[in-house]
Amino acid sequence: MTDVARLAGVSHQTVSRVLNDHPNVREATRLRVRAAIAELGYRPNRAARTLVTGRSQLIGVVAQNSTLYGPASLLAAFEQAAAQAGFAVSVGSVSTLDRRSILAAVERHLDHRVAGIVVIAPVASANEALDHLPDQVPAVTVDGDLNRQAALVTVDQVAGAAMATRHLLEHGHRTVWHVSGPADWFDSAGRVAGWRSALRAAGAEEPPLLSADWSAASGYRAGQMLARMPEATAVFAANDHLALGVLRALSERGRRVPAEVSVVGFDDVPEAAYFIPPLTTVRPDFDAVARASLGLLLSQIESGMPTRERHTIAPTLVTRDSVAGPAR
């Protein structure tokens, strides 16, 4: 820090204020200090900073070791939001989201003196562990159970699924078939609830639920059944990989999309715009979820008080070429 102060022609205190984003620094001075930091390749000593401020700049995240698009996107967005706020993130990956695995990961984080804990908990098996987190540790659950009375941020799965279902009904389809995700996932349950609520609000018949997992292979198997059913003219798949499998099965059977069957997915994976046809889908705002989660955690860290505040982030519908009116 001494070298930075000397090169920038300012005091140690001014360098410290710039590093901590203090508002009472002139912009020209801030730019001069930042230029000196870049020129010298200076990196703040986080351990020393913790000793001075009494607050760790490290956040512990517990997440399942998974390549699924939703959880992976949430984790990446949170790491970016934390970095922008001056925090590092330590990720404790677990193979299963059960009590033993989650609590062991939390203990490892606490051994590293993290400022707070974030648990990405999209499945019901995580609830028992969340109920036993240490009371004195600031914590936020992401993508968890809306029935738990704790700090929580999640995508509005119900609203997103209802939006997708209404979009299909508004194109003139009599009803919408749903290929769901695993029953123990809160995302899946929310999307089933949203699909059902939209059908009931429209007075449409509710067809049997087609249960699946999150994979394209599972969607393909469901699609093989749907492809043999001429009455199935509209399908809402619980994620885009399921939709991809459905599209493949329909194509093999000669059912044209969207001329004969319309399909909507959920997640807006980067490849969705390049499916054949380009997929209409629901896009969760993972960046907004990350920012809200970080905000809830930092408010607890700064106040020293737990909160039961929750934020439900609305998704948006991305319309492409996989939806049309039913064939006449």
Residue ranges of domains in the chain, CATH in brackets: 2-44 (1.10.260.40), 56-155+286-312 (3.40.50.2300), 157-284 (3.40.50.2300)
Mean pLDDT in residue range 55-67: 88
Instruction: Evaluate whether 55 touches 116 at the Cβ level (below 8 Å).
Output: no
- Are the C-beta atoms of residues 112 and 90 closer than 8 Å to each other? yes
pLDDT at 30: 86
As a whole number of angstroms, the distance between CA 26 and CA 13 comes to 14
pLDDT surpassing 80 at residue 52: no
Query: What whole-number distance in Å separates Cα of residue 158 and Cα of residue 306?
Result: 27
Average pLDDT of span 57-65 = 94
Dihedral over alpha carbons 203, 208, 214, 218 (to 10 degrees): -140
DSSP states of 188-253: HHHHHHHHHHHHHHHT---PPPEE--SSHHHHHHHHHHHHT-TT--EEEESSHHHHHHHHHHHHHT
**Residues 161 and 155: beta-carbon distance below 8 Å:** no
Q: Which of 11-15, 72-76, 81-85, 239-243 has the lowest mean pLDDT?
A: 11-15
Each residue of 103-153: pLDDT tens digit?
999 999 998 889 999 999 999 999 999 998 888 889 999 999 999 989 999
**Which position has the higher pLDDT, 31 or 220?**
220
Span 42-71, average pLDDT:
72
pTM listed for this prediction: 0.82
Bridge partners of residue 123, in order along the sequence: 185
Tell me the percentage of the chain whose pLDDT exceeds 90. 75
